[in-house]
Amino acid sequence: MSKIVMEDKKMKTSIPTLDIDFEQYDPNNIDVWEEYIPIGNEKERLTMAIKSANLPYLIESEKGQGKTLLTHTICKENNVALISEPIGIGTKKSDLIGSKEINKDGTFFSLGLLPRAIEVANHFGHACLYGDEGSNQEHEIQQLWHSICDGRRSIVANGKQYKLNKGCKLSIIWTINPVTYAGVNSMTEALRSRFIGSVWGYPSNNDMSSVVDWTDIDEITIKNPLLTLAQDIYALKLKGDVEYALSIRDLVQFTHHFREIMVESKKPLETALNEVVMIKFSEPAERELIRLRIEDTFDVKL
């Protein structure tokens, strides 16, 4: 096939690509909504992974432990562009690779998450692609990540190979929930082999005590029983008696909500326990089990 024919064929199989709005990925525009308080060396480890960008980094942990906040914080502090979009059960090939779009100016190709991340990294010199709960993607969709997560650092979209430029960095961070979570897909062996990473264990009472603001929360009647309840519920989850465990996020919700209602509510403790803890359990048998555990731990009647 002649060169002219090959070039003509290429022109027919590709369409103009829509421009990327790089401003939305600018490190100056990264939202850090609250201070991240480290529990151990997790911030140091993730900072090293993002700054080096040598290998994709996987964090496996319970929900609500601040993985997203930490990633945003590190990118903001280190001037790293951030591409953060939801991925999960509904993620399609078009979401990751791209798709055709038709507007008043004609037909264009809108880059998906993966080639767009490469272009953002090439534009800024260093970018971080953050995939929250990545293992929720179907297995055949996870395969689309292979070439961007290994030495190729590239992806093909709209008949073009998007490749990381020499000297540019693309950090890839994935978070996943433990496989004990209901409805969680497994991460394929082929993809997991491309990652390094760490497992964040369930936080201890000391961990939760150190990262939650306990201002105006009585230690004897509320703080200590709440920490005990969290550990007891986690033990119930490990045994399969309940599907939900209280997270750091839940304890922060509790303290915020209790402070909001403690003046106006006649029973602020009972109200906060109902509206922050009990509401997390939708299955009647689980809810009854938690209700009894709460009443025993706090010496209250719900």
| Residue 33: burial class (beta carbons within 10 Å; 0-12, 13-18, 19+) | exposed
- Residue 15 — φ and ψ, nearest 5°? -125, 165
DSSP conformational letter for 35? -
Please name the residue ranges forming H helices in the chain.
3-13, 42-52, 67-77, 93-96, 113-124, 139-142, 146-149, 189-192, 205-211, 224-239, 248-261, 268-272, 284-298
145 contacts: CB under 8 Å, gap ≥ 6: 96, 114, 134, 191, 194
Answer for the pair 192, 58: CB distance below 8 angstroms, yes or no.
yes
Superfamily of domain 3-200: P-loop containing nucleotide triphosphate hydrolases (3.40.50.300)
Which tens digit of pLDDT belongs to each residue from 207-236? 999 999 999 999 999 999 999 999 999 999
For residue 67, what are the CA distances in angstroms to 166, 252, 280? 29, 15, 20
Answer for the pair 148, 155: CB distance below 8 angstroms, yes or no.
yes
What is the rounded distance in angstroms from the CA atom of residue 298 to the CA atom of residue 229?
Answer: 9
Residue 11 has pLDDT above 70, yes or no: no
Domain boundaries, the chain: 3-200, 205-298
- Kindly indicate the confidence band of residue 1, based on its pLDDT and cuts at 50, 70 and 90: very low
Which tens digit of pLDDT belongs to each residue from 230-269? 999 999 999 999 999 999 999 999 999 999 999 888 899 9
Which tens digit of pLDDT belongs to each residue from 160-190? 999 999 999 999 999 988 766 555 568 899 9
How many other CB atoms are found less than 10 A from the CB of residue 85?
Answer: 15
DSSP conformational letter for 216? T
- Kindly indicate the confidence band of residue 13, based on its pLDDT and cuts at 50, 70 and 90: low
What is the rounded distance in angstroms from the CA atom of residue 12 to the CA atom of residue 159?
Answer: 10
Six token digits for residue 292:
């009894």
Answer for the pair 196, 53: CB distance below 8 angstroms, yes or no.
no
